[in-house]
Amino acid sequence: MVDRDRPRLSIVILNWNTADLLSACLGSIRRHVAADAEVIVVDNGSHDGSVERVRREFPHVLLIPLDSNHGFSRGNNIALERARGEFILLLNPDTEMRPGVVEALVDHFERTPRAGIAGPKLEYPDGRHQPSVALFPTPWIEFLRQTMLGHFLPTRNRAESRRDETRKVDMVTGAALCIRRECLEDIGPLDESLFMYYEDTDWCRRAWDAGWEVWYVTCPGLMHVKTAAGAAHARTRTLLDSQRSMIRYFEKHPGSGSVGALRVVTLCGSLLRILRAALLWVGGRNRSDQAARLRAHGRQLRWALTGGGL
């Protein structure tokens, strides 16, 4: 039975120091999404005036300011606890809504009863198609990613990410991920042991394991700038958070491959990345960023060799 007091859609945005992007995102929602949609912004302890700007420019938004950065999973889960919609769209602040995106997602859910999660088509700001789906990680897929060979070889993962047709997929990116409430209640919230990265992968894997389907939905392209908030200022932490989350994912889903195999992959990948960063540093290319990469990849190499903590 439909709860008529419940909004059709809740849009959840987790923000950290992206005031300008967040304002553009909320402005696009106000222009292109029905007024009865619920919009929730969780601010992860920003210090760039984001909270004040939302209060001033978008008073209709449910704003939840936090005192510090609680990570992607915990921040979104706080909003999920408050969201009332039949469908809940997790949206990055560096996205901008286009006419028809929300309608395409909701229509697909209504026509596909086992669709638990769906993601829309994404586009770069210049209109190019942006890959937003992927196969579930395996040691081989991680090897291609970490050694950067995946950029040059015609892999199945690359081919899958470039197909622009509505279809079932392994996973969709958390930059724009819509979940059916029944699916959320079935599989539970995001895993808070994943501070940043792989949360969307884990959620989609759990949906499939519980008998739900994950879909990619073609529609007017949702614009995604694809910028990581603060990444340029916290390169070491960003890379290490990604590695920790990857390890946690493989521990949770042993069918994906062993952590031992992941250590071998990381050994190869970190050696190549250390060499690349060192060459770029010697060449004088953004030395502060290359130094941060060297620190992070050095710690990844140590984990691969010893299994010790990151």
The yes-or-no verdict on residue 4 having pLDDT over 70 is: no
This prediction has a pTM of: 0.92
Mean pLDDT across 9-29: 97
Both structure tokens of 290: 């290359």
CB 22 within 8 A of CB 53: yes
Both structure tokens of 217: 């939905």
Give residue limits of the domains in the chain. 9-135+170-224, 231-306
Alpha-carbon torsion (74, 196, 61, 178), positive or negative: negative
What lies within 8 Å, CB to CB, of 115 at 6+ separation is: 108, 109, 180, 212, 213, 214, 215
Residues in the chain: 310
Give the residue ranges of DSSP H helices in 131-286: 139-146, 156-162, 181-187, 199-209, 235-252, 259-282
Distances (CA, A) of 298 to 57, 240, 274: 44, 10, 7
What lies within 8 Å, CB to CB, of 160 at 6+ separation is: 133, 134, 135, 169
Mean pLDDT across 243-250: 94
Candidates 48, 159, 181; CA nearest to 109 is: 181
Q: CA 258, CA 260: separation in Å to the nearest integer?
A: 5
- Each residue's pLDDT tens digit, 168-227: 999 999 999 999 999 999 999 999 999 889 999 999 999 999 999 999 999 999 999 976
Candidates 73, 25, 23, 66; CA nearest to 42 is: 66
CATH H superfamily, domain 9-135+170-224: Spore Coat Polysaccharide Biosynthesis Protein SpsA; Chain A (3.90.550.10)
**3-state SS class at 21:** helix
